[in-house]
Chain A
Amino acid sequence: AAGVIQSPRHLIKEKRETATLKCYPIPRHDTVYWYQQGPGQDPQFLISFYEKMQSDKGSIPDRFSAQQFSDYHSELNMSSLELGDSALYFCASRRTGVNTGELFFGEGSRLTVL
C-alpha cells in the first residue's frame, strides 16, 4: 500500500539559508500535517492543511511557511535557518470523513543546519 512520501530524506544547510521540504500524502487523503521533532523531544505540531486551506496552526516560526497544492502534496518552506531548526520533520496525512481519523506518518526529513 502507498505510504506518505517525504523528500528529501536528509538535508544539510548553512545558517541563514533556505530549505524546502516536500510531502506527498497517501492517495485520497485530503489533510496534511507537519510536525517537528528536535533531538530527544516529542514531535511538535507545526501546521495543517485541509483541501488546500490552512486548517490549524501550531508552534510554527514566522520564518516558516507552508502550502498544500491542487494535487494535495504539501511543501514546508524554511528561511533564515537557525541552528535550532535542526530536527526531524514529519509529514502526516489522513482522509477526513473516515471514522477512525487515523494519521499516517512519513519517514521524515532530517534537516541539519550548520
Chain B
Amino acid sequence: KQEVTQIPAALSVPEGENLVLNCSFTDSAIYNLQWFRQDPGKGLTSLLLIQSSQREQTSGRLNASLDKSSGRSTLYIAASQPGDSATYLCAVIETWGKLQFGAGTQVVVTP
C-alpha cells in the first residue's frame, strides 16, 4: 500500500527565506504527483503537478522536483512571504486518478 510522508510536519521561517518542503512515497509506480496548498478550514488549491516522466515543474516562485526512483519530491518556495503561510500537501496520483495524500507541512512565515 502506498504511503506518503511529509517532513517536516511544521516549519517557521522569517520572511524572505527560501522554503524547502519534502515529500516521500513508498511505491514508485505513480502516475503523477501533485502539490496543494490549504488554508485553515478551506479547500485545496493545486499548486503544481509533475507528471511521472518529468523531473521538475516551475510556477513563479514555486519549483517542484520529482525523483521517482528514490520516491521523493521537493517543493521549493523562493523568497517566502507571510501570505505563503498555509499547510502544503503533496499527493501521489495512482490508478484512476486517485490521490494518496501526505499529512502535510504547516508553514508559518513571520514578517
Residues of B within 8 A of A50 (CB): 96
Known interface pairs A99-B51, A100-B32; 12 further A-B residue pairs with C-beta atoms within 8 A, sorted by A's residue number: A31-B96, A33-B97, A42-B89, A45-B100, A48-B96, A55-B96, A92-B44, A92-B99, A100-B49, A102-B46, A103-B46, A105-B43
- Most chain A C-beta atoms within 10 Å of own C-beta, residue among B89, B95, B101: B101
Judged by DSSP, the binding face of A is strand
Is the beta-carbon distance between B93 and A103 smaller than 8 angstroms? yes
How many B residues have CB within 8 A of the partner chain? Answer: 24
A16-24, A62-70, A106-114: which lies at the interface: A106-114
The residue in chain B whose Cβ has the minimal distance to the Cβ of A45 is B98
Q: Which of A41, A44, A90 contacts B44 (CB 8 A)?
A: A90
Interfacial residues, chain B to chain A (CB-CB below 8 A):
31-32, 34, 36, 41-46, 49, 51, 89, 93, 95-104
Is the beta-carbon distance between B42 and A107 smaller than 8 angstroms? yes
Known contacts A42-B104, A56-B98; A105 and B44 CB within 8 A of each other: yes
Complex Cα–Cα for A103 and B101 (A):
13
Residues of A within 8 A of B100 (CB): 45
The residue in chain B whose Cβ has the minimal distance to the Cβ of A42 is B101
Is the beta-carbon distance between B49 and A33 smaller than 8 angstroms? no
The residue in chain B whose Cβ has the minimal distance to the Cβ of A58 is B98
- Most chain B C-beta atoms within 10 Å of own C-beta, residue among A35, A41, A42, A58: A42
Residues of A within 8 A of B96 (CB): 31, 48, 50, 55-56
Q: Which of B31, B46, B93 contacts A104 (CB 8 A)?
A: B46
Complex Cα–Cα for A48 and B43 (A):
18
Is the beta-carbon distance between B99 and A103 smaller than 8 angstroms? yes
Using an 8 Å CB-CB cutoff, how does the interface string of A72-114 with B read, 1 for contact, 0 for none?
A: 0000000000000000101010101001111111111010000
In the assembled complex, the CB of A62 is this many whole angstroms from the nearest CB of chain B, namely 20
